[in-house]
Chain A
Amino acid sequence: MSSHTTSALTLFLVFFALVGLTGVTVWVAYIDLGIWSTPVAIAIATLKASLVVVIFMEMRFGQPITWFASSTGILFLILLIGLTMADIVSRGWLGVPGK
């Protein structure tokens, strides 16, 4: 069952991709993208994280349960941030102080 191994070449290629993406994220940080700067930074970071998870952490050989576990973590993190921000963002819509 642990017959899966990742070739050294793949590992190095992933590493260079990660280094390249780090360069990209630094580069775009110095460009004025307006409101898009944070989404772009998050998108690049997520791409890098996906590479690490899928190749380095061997998710691609993993069982369905590991996919389930990691997506559960991400889902509940989004819920935590999303529902909290639902409050922060909509405060003041009513124009009543403290509501």
Chain B
Amino acid sequence: METAPKRTNYLNADYGIRSWLLTLDHKRIGILYLISITLMFLLGSLFAVLIRLELLTPAGDFVQADTYNKLFTMHGIVMIFFFLVPSIPAVLGNFLLPLMIGARDLAFPRLNLMSWYVYMVGGIFTLWAIITGGVDTGWTFYTPYSTTASHSNVLMTAVGIFITGFSSILTGLNFIVTIHTMRAPGLTWFRLPLFVWAHYATSLIMILGTPVVAITIFLVGIERAFGLGIFDPALGGDPILFQHLFWFYSHPAVYIMILPSMGVISEIITCFARKRIFGYEFIAVSSLAIAVFGFLVWGHHMFTSSQSVYAAMIFSILSFAVAIPSAVKVFNWTATLYKGSISFEAPMLFAMGFIGLFTIGGLTGLFLASLGLDVHVHDTYFVVAHFHYIMVGGALMGYLGAIHFWWPKMTGRMYSEWAAKVSAVLVFVGFNLTFFPQFVLGYLGMPRRYHAYPDEFQVLNVMSTTGASILGLGYLVPLCYLTWSLWRGPLASANPWKAAGLEWTTPSPPPTENFETTPVVEEEAYTYPLKEAEVV
């Protein structure tokens, strides 16, 4: 086992639990988030395991229908609000943003620590709701079921999500101010890494959308608590208004999950193709375009509700518009690979997986944006498969790619490349085996959110559960070898991938102040192939 030479870095600058829980260092706060969201991911996965076990057989024999309702609800709530939304921004964004722009920290370190505590308090409320009986409304809290009929812990869960929303707002606010005011000398907007652009766009959605869902959930809470009729049709309320307000945030929230991943992919692709990214400006601006267009399409979740057909037509057309900036990114990544000297290290495998899976997820999204087809497949497994291709195939692949890419920087240790490649393949194969059959199931008419199904769907469901087992294995393997690497991994150099970017010019792990002297940037991003002198 190698031992690190004595050098003060952010990990050994201070010791003890207090030094972590009261830290103002963005890198340590990133680590706090990493631990918290990993635990939440395990919890959400546990619910997924139970769901897939129930669906192994057509009869509802493993859990009761009521229990099943709670399982898919809590899977959705934990995965979306407590894992996917904070995943890349709160862990890697926190860790990398100041490093990438040559700053000593985020603009508001106290606010940053507060956002983690807010996240934890919201998490505790939600966990308490889960432990004391769970919630069964679906992660969407549709009224009037959630306000009048449901007998589960809606109120407690709503409080938890309301609180957690503020953690997201604080993170977004911090990022926007940091990117605007803390860039190193010479680091102009169009020299910024695309990861930073993606996080800027993500932060915009966080600050514009999250407050709306917060106030909406608040209204659901007081309606349920005091017997008001804000969204209750029996008292003149309009449940469709709830859906408008809810999806105003929750559709853009999908882009909160996928945009940071896209930023990660841009970094990884250009590094392992040893070639400057193709169409830098287009990728940068398309992030903003996705963030803005993303706010114009929410009505496509409501095509089969009593939303007016005319509004539905507008939303349908606008939904197609989002495909344009998304496709711009995919084409530019592909063009970057063209004639690059590509090597397939583990982060690159995850990135390649992302491109394929995101493309499938995006294209099936166009099916669902079509008014006529959506009526047929609405609330079937086609929808379930589609958004898992985006959220798991896209966002989670990107997250894993990012963890593998920046792990040496975060911990100062290398992991087993061989094990990482195995994990990337397991995840890709397992994922497709899990969710591709669900496209077929949905197309054949299997509705989502039922614990039992007709016999003829069993083969495809068994395939799906098998795939989920492989996928689960693919997630457990990194947990093992990454943890192992913390003690036994070879020491990482400052720039193990020979990548461009300010974060690779400082030692691994970085010192608390990030840089000994504030770097000065004199050229554009991604000057691949690097000149030998530049490789630290």
Residues of A that sit less than 8 Å from B by CB = 65, 72-73, 76, 79-80, 83-84, 86-94, 98-99
Please indicate the chain B residues that have their CB under 8 angstroms from the CB of A88 in the complex: 308
Consensus secondary structure, chain A interface: helix
Please indicate the chain A residues that have their CB under 8 angstroms from the CB of B308 in the complex: 86-94, 99
B480–chain A nearest beta-carbon distance, Å: 44
Q: Is the CB of B180 within 8 A of A65?
A: yes
Please indicate the chain B residues that have their CB under 8 angstroms from the CB of A98 in the complex: 306
Instruction: Provide the bound-state CA to CA distance between A47 and B208, in Å.
Output: 24
Our pick among A83, A87, A92 for the contact of B240 (Cβ within 8 Å) is A87
Instruction: Provide the bound-state CA to CA distance between A96 and B403, in Å.
Output: 52
A65–chain B nearest beta-carbon distance, Å: 6
Q: Is the CB of B180 within 8 A of A87?
A: no
Q: Is the CB of A86 within 8 A of B296?
A: no
Instruction: Provide the bound-state CA to CA distance between A84 and B212, in Å.
Output: 13
Q: Which 6 A-B pairs have the closest CB atoms?
A: A87-B311, A90-B310, A90-B308, A91-B308, A84-B244, A98-B306
Instruction: Provide the bound-state CA to CA distance between A86 and B315, in Å.
Output: 10
A87–chain B nearest beta-carbon distance, Å: 4
Q: Is the CB of A76 within 8 A of B295?
A: yes
Instruction: Provide the bound-state CA to CA distance between A72 and B310, in Å.
Output: 27
Residues of B that sit less than 8 Å from A by CB = 180, 204, 208, 212, 240-241, 244-245, 248, 295-296, 298-299, 306-311, 314-315
Given contacts A65-B180, A72-B208, A76-B208, is CB(A83)–CB(B309) below 8 Å? no
Please indicate the chain B residues that have their CB under 8 angstroms from the CB of A94 in the complex: 308-310
A-B contact pairs, 26 of them (CB 8 A): A65-B180, A72-B204, A72-B208, A79-B295, A79-B296, A80-B212, A83-B296, A83-B298, A83-B299, A84-B244, A84-B248, A86-B310, A86-B311, A86-B314, A87-B240, A88-B308, A90-B309, A91-B308, A92-B308, A93-B308, A93-B310, A94-B308, A94-B310, A99-B306, A99-B308, A99-B309
Instruction: Provide the bound-state CA to CA distance between A88 and B311, in Å.
Output: 9
| A84 to chain B: closest residue by CB | B244
Q: Is the CB of B311 within 8 A of A90?
A: yes
Q: Is the CB of B306 within 8 A of A91?
A: yes
Q: Is the CB of A87 within 8 A of B295?
A: no
Please indicate the chain B residues that have their CB under 8 angstroms from the CB of A84 in the complex: 241, 244-245, 248
Please indicate the chain B residues that have their CB under 8 angstroms from the CB of A65 in the complex: 180
Please indicate the chain A residues that have their CB under 8 angstroms from the CB of B244 in the complex: 83-84, 87
A13–chain B nearest beta-carbon distance, Å: 33
A47–chain B nearest beta-carbon distance, Å: 25
Q: Is the CB of B208 within 8 A of A87?
A: no
Q: Which of A80, A83, A87 has the most CB of B within 10 A?
A: A87
